[in-house]
Chains A and B, each alone.
Chain A
Amino acid sequence: MAEFRTCPDTGFKIDLNADKLIKWNAVTAVVFLLVGGLFGLLVALTRWPAVHLLDADLFYLALTAHGLDVLLVWMIFFEIALLYFTSAILLNSRLALPKVGWLAYWMMLVGAAITNVAVLRGDSSVMFTSYPPMMAAQDFYMGILIFAVGALLGCLVFFATLYVAKKEKTYEGSVPLVTFGAITAAIIAVFTILSGAIILLPTWFWSLGLLSHIDTLMYRVIWWGMGHSSQQINVAAQISCWYAVAAILFNAKPLSEKVSRTAFLLYILFLQLASAHHLLVDPALSSEWKIFNTSYALYLAVLGSMIHGLTVPGAVEAAQRKKGYNKGLFEWLTKCPWSNPVFAGTALSVVLFGFLGGISGVMMGTEQLNLITHNTIYVPGHFHGTVVVGSTLAFMAISYWIVPTLWQKELVFPGLAKWQPYLFGIGMGLAATFMMGAGTLGVPRRHWDMTFADAAMGYDFPAAANLMMGLNGVAAVMGSLGALIFILNMVGTILWGKAKVPAPAAPAEEAPAAVASAATSHGSAGTMEVPGTFVLALIFLVSFVLYYFVNWKYLSSVWGLS
């Protein structure tokens, strides 16, 4: 029989197995964030032309490790923790198959360790993407495969827990929206991991000498079925966190369950097509294939994100207005708890993900516009706008709630925590912006020396390009400091935090019964309930449209191609 405790803050019934697994996965995630983040800092300092810290071989090693540890290991470990949280805890259920959960954990850890050792040994600096015919040591691929099987088992535990909860009737009606979002993430994860296995298994055989040839184009098509889709796991998980924070801090209920769930459904149906984003300037793929896939059919997954972009702040606005913050368009927003890191991190994540990651992603995912961005440092600029200031920041924000709640401890540095989301969000947001700026001047990604000092024939970038890579370095230092403060705060709280004194429940953490009365049922349909959010959404749309067409204008000025 599963053993439970009751959470003093939320009233949730917590399965002790789930409790332990969530904690171990989350802590391991943070450790990899530290390791991967440090490699990222080294990369940024090397690409800062005036600093140029590492030698070429160490730079490419650090870049490979950076991509692997943060893009894959930190994100997936944290998401597995979220999956257990949104299934067992939010559904008041026992965690199914806890032994499989531990097997998953250890496989992921051992796999990540094997691949990290291969990279640090120096013979597998093939980048996160490991494109053939460049070959890494065989254990590089083997480690990723073990990690992937572990993650797949984690998804299995999640789905089994959903089944158990339904069967044992631990909740009534439909699963919560946040759990629904997590189901989205898990379904995409299964697709993603299988894509990865389909291509990395033969690649591993190839590195063992069992296969003679891996077709480079086939590799890119299938590998990006993992590489891009894994970012869609992050998006689904991150948006679930947004909804969760709106609910936890504001008792906000979704404007419409139907709309928000349909938006998640659009992800499941269309996000997988995004492998094409990486193949728009590759040979042997037709324009029809590129257009259909890169646009997720008719930009239907982008539509999903634009819907969440309205409904998350909209839910907060509606909740705030019910509390009486009704003055003008934006009183609800100015009265938000901006010094609470749970809120500040989430709010920044919503805004920066939309403006930096979202708009730039759609722009460069356009068939022809990709010609002027492909493989430039614009690309890392874009995905630091999604994975770093979108997903990572959202995960940090919710950690400020999850860690004190699960461990029942006070934060060790509450003062620093107030500033941390701004330091990290603005620092990394600026880094993303400067990278995109340098990319529009053609600065390449994954490149040790943009001055081409050792080349037989050189090329001189304009001074602005060097300046922007320098500013990117400064911004990355700022962001790294923010990440470090987060990690110190989390690890410190877990190790040395004072035990929480059961306080009278703040409005943030009301019991479900109180909530039901606070949020009245749906009475004002048909009227404009969230005018402030609607205005913000229109500002976003105008920026989007302008930026999109500015890039077409820019494209029309380059050499003719047909």
Chain B
Amino acid sequence: MAIFPPEQRVWWNEPIEKSEVMWITIAFIWALVMFFMMPYWHIVGEQNLSNEAYKIKPDVYAEKVEAWAAKYKVREEGDTGIPVVHPPAGGDVYMLGRLWEWWPVVELEEGQSYRFHLSSLDWMHGWSLLPENINIQVHPGYEMIFTVKPTSSGEFGVICNEFCGIGHHTMVGKIHVVAK
């Protein structure tokens, strides 16, 4: 009885039930499989988050993004006044999060790889690319860099999924992917 002391004072010598031994063995093998899936995916998988990140002051990051956007701006998104930036294939892409927008709108080419830079100018934000459903935590003061390769084309939404105050639900950005 689990609410009384063990009947046998020397309970650690009692033999273990066969079904328990079998289950522990199976469960441990499964644990190993799950553990090694992660390094395995780093070797063969196409979806791994890079470990590249730098400390950066928010205003320095803002300047970098603005300079980049000015250089590669191709048009404005509808009547929003937000620039659409189309960088050269294989090049750097910048996006910043601030209360309450993802800036700027980015245009990428399908099948090309880009070095994607992401940081926040103020609070923490959650970069959520939809409908792909790729989600990344964005910190102020940290610039994260990862390689992105769009494998489908069309219009993609970027919403914020880390609570960032009263306007959180209006924080939506956009990525266009054009087919080659």
Q: Are B170 and A452 in contact (CB under 8 A)?
A: yes
Say how far B93's CB is from chain A's closest CB, in angstroms.
13
A420-461 contacts to B, CB under 8 A, are 440-442, 444-450, 452, 454-459, 461
Q: Are B1 and A174 in contact (CB under 8 A)?
A: no
Q: Are B31 and A216 in contact (CB under 8 A)?
A: no
B contact residues around A243 at 8 Å (CB)? 2-3
- CB within 8 A of B45: which of A217, A368, A534, A545? A368
B8-22 contacts to A, CB under 8 A, are 8-9, 11-12, 14-20, 22
B contact residues around A522 at 8 Å (CB)? 8, 14-15
Q: Are B5 and A174 in contact (CB under 8 A)?
A: yes
- Residue B178, interface by CB 8 Å: no
- The complex places the Cα of A504 from the Cα of B135 at a distance, in Å, of 60
Q: Which of A143-151, A250-258, A381-389 contacts B (4 or more CB under 8 A)?
A: A250-258
- Residue B83, interface by CB 8 Å: no
- The complex places the Cα of A85 from the Cα of B15 at a distance, in Å, of 30
Say how far B158's CB is from chain A's closest CB, in angstroms.
8
Say how far B151's CB is from chain A's closest CB, in angstroms.
5
> What total count of A-B pairs have CB within 8 Å?
333
- The complex places the Cα of A46 from the Cα of B80 at a distance, in Å, of 29
- The complex places the Cα of A449 from the Cα of B167 at a distance, in Å, of 10
B23-66 contacts to A, CB under 8 A, are 23-24, 26-28, 30-32, 34-35, 37-39, 41-42, 45-51, 53
Chain B residue with Cβ nearest A310: B23
Q: A90-B3, A459-B159, A559-B134 are in contact. Are A56 and B166 (CB under 8 A)?
A: yes
- The complex places the Cα of A522 from the Cα of B15 at a distance, in Å, of 8
Q: Are A283 and B142 in contact (CB under 8 A)?
A: yes
- Residue B150, interface by CB 8 Å: yes
Chain B residue with Cβ nearest A460: B157
A contact residues around B173 at 8 Å (CB)? 457
- Residue B73, interface by CB 8 Å: no
- Residue B82, interface by CB 8 Å: yes
Q: Are B5 and A281 in contact (CB under 8 A)?
A: no
Q: A174-B11, A256-B16, A282-B139 are in contact. Are A372 and B172 (CB under 8 A)?
A: no
B64-86, CB under 8 A of A: which get 1 and which 0?
A: 00000000000001101010000
Q: Are B47 and A556 in contact (CB under 8 A)?
A: yes
- Residue A176, interface by CB 8 Å: yes
Q: Are B5 and A172 in contact (CB under 8 A)?
A: yes
- Residue A212, interface by CB 8 Å: no
- CB within 8 A of B19: which of A314, A519, A541, A558? A314
Chain A residue with Cβ nearest B3: A247
Q: Are B126 and A374 in contact (CB under 8 A)?
A: yes
Say how far B79's CB is from chain A's closest CB, in angstroms.
10
A479-536 contacts to B, CB under 8 A, are 512, 515-516, 519, 521-522, 525-531, 533-534
- CB within 8 A of B141: which of A216, A252, A255? A216
Q: Are A512 and B4 in contact (CB under 8 A)?
A: yes
- CB within 8 A of A441: which of B80, B101, B133? B133
- Residue A334, interface by CB 8 Å: no
- CB within 8 A of B133: which of A256, A442, A448? A442
Q: A284-B53, A556-B46 are in contact. Are A529 and B17 (CB under 8 A)?
A: yes
B120-173 contacts to A, CB under 8 A, are 122-124, 126, 128-137, 139-144, 146-152, 157, 159-166, 168-173
Using C-beta atoms within 8 Å of the partner chain, give the interface range for chain A. 35 or more
A contact residues around B30 at 8 Å (CB)? 299, 306, 541, 544-545
- Residue A171, interface by CB 8 Å: yes
A contact residues around B164 at 8 Å (CB)? 134
Say how far B147's CB is from chain A's closest CB, in angstroms.
5
B contact residues around A307 at 8 Å (CB)? 20, 23-24, 27
Q: Are A456 and B82 in contact (CB under 8 A)?
A: yes
Q: How many residues of B contact A (CB 8 A)?
A: 92
Q: Are A375 and B161 in contact (CB under 8 A)?
A: yes
Chain A residue with Cβ nearest B32: A298
Q: A367-B38, A442-B128, A534-B19 are in contact. Are A256 and B2 (CB under 8 A)?
A: no
Q: Are B46 and A257 in contact (CB under 8 A)?
A: no
A contact residues around B9 at 8 Å (CB)? 172-174
B contact residues around A525 at 8 Å (CB)? 14-18
Q: Are B2 and A252 in contact (CB under 8 A)?
A: yes
A84-108, CB under 8 A of B: which get 1 and which 0?
A: 0000001000000000000000000
Q: Are A256 and B17 in contact (CB under 8 A)?
A: yes
B contact residues around A17 at 8 Å (CB)? none
B contact residues around A368 at 8 Å (CB)? 38, 41, 45, 47-49
Q: Are A283 and B53 in contact (CB under 8 A)?
A: yes
Q: A444-B128, A558-B47 are in contact. Are A299 and B34 (CB under 8 A)?
A: yes
- CB within 8 A of B12: which of A257, A442, A515, A521? A257
Say how far A416's CB is from chain B's closest CB, in angstroms.
27
Say how far A46's CB is from chain B's closest CB, in angstroms.
11
- CB within 8 A of A521: which of B7, B49, B129, B135? B7
- The complex places the Cα of A367 from the Cα of B113 at a distance, in Å, of 22
B contact residues around A75 at 8 Å (CB)? none
Chain B residue with Cβ nearest A175: B5
Q: Which residues of A contact B (CB under 8 A)?
A: 56-57, 60, 90, 127, 131, 133-134, 171-178, 215-217, 220, 243-244, 246-248, 251-260, 279-287, 291, 295, 298-300, 302-303, 306-307, 310-311, 314-315, 362, 366-368, 370-376, 440-442, 444-450, 452, 454-459, 461-462, 512, 515-516, 519, 521-522, 525-531, 533-534, 537, 541, 544-545, 548, 552, 555-556, 558-562
Q: List 23 A-B contacts (CB under 8 A).
A: A176-B1, A255-B17, A258-B14, A282-B137, A285-B51, A291-B39, A307-B24, A310-B20, A371-B134, A374-B126, A374-B136, A375-B126, A375-B162, A441-B133, A444-B161, A449-B169, A455-B169, A462-B131, A512-B4, A522-B8, A548-B34, A552-B37, A560-B47
Q: A303-B27, A442-B132 are in contact. List 5 more A-B contacts (CB 8 A).
A: A216-B142, A445-B161, A457-B172, A521-B8, A558-B132
In the A-B complex, list the 6 residue pairs whose CB atoms are closest, starting with the nearest.
A459-B157, A560-B149, A444-B161, A299-B31, A283-B53, A283-B144
